[in-house]
Amino acid sequence: MNRTRLASIAAVAALALIVLWALLSGAPAKSGTQTGNELPLTLTGKTLDGQRYDLAAYRGRPVVINFFASWCPSCAREAADLTAFAKAHPEVAFVGVDIQDKLAKGREWVMRYGVPFPVVFDREGTIASQYGVIGIPATFFLDGNGVERAHIVGPATRSGFEEKLQTAM
């Protein structure tokens, strides 16, 4: 194996351990912020296709934010359910955040899974850090005022997404 491949495997293994630790320890997905915090969350940036994105444009609607990366096996496991979930809820605003990835790989991901919502490119992980993301995939459910009502750390199923969405409606 070459060094690049070994480094990739080590990075995925480290990420898996972080997610496992978070799930088993009950650690919150966001440091310093509790679910239901009355401060609205923000998210701005450029999408994978170069468009400007601002979460504030969706004020008044529930929002689902999914943090992922093309190199993340757990993200791939939930991709089909997340896509079906998004298509079943046109009343909800969805946005993906592709973190610490390559732009071309993020675009390939969107095409491969037929992602029906905008995806913000977060090359350095700055947005993920602002949300306190400690492992991916991570999904946040905001109410119409931009207040977090629930989150999931780790891969989820469509029924898991549905359950959490109810807290934001």
> Tens of pLDDT along 94-126?
999 999 999 999 999 999 999 999 999 999 999
Helix intervals (H) in the chain = 3-25, 73-87, 103-113, 126-130, 158-168
The full length of the chain comes to 169
Q: Closest Cα to residue 138, out of 129, 104, 146?
A: 129
> Tens of pLDDT along 140-167?
999 998 889 999 999 999 999 999 999 8
Give the C-alpha separation, 12 to 70, whole Å.
11
pLDDT tier at 57, thresholds 50, 70, 90: very high
3-state SS assignment for residue 28: coil
Predicted local confidence at residue 21, as pLDDT: 40
Q: Which domains does the chain have, with CATH numbers?
A: 3-168 (3.40.30.10)
pTM metric for this prediction: 0.77
Res 24 pLDDT > 70: no
Q: Could you tell me which residue, 27 or 7, shows the higher pLDDT?
A: 7
Asked whether the CA dihedral 93, 67, 80, 141 is positive or negative, the reply is negative
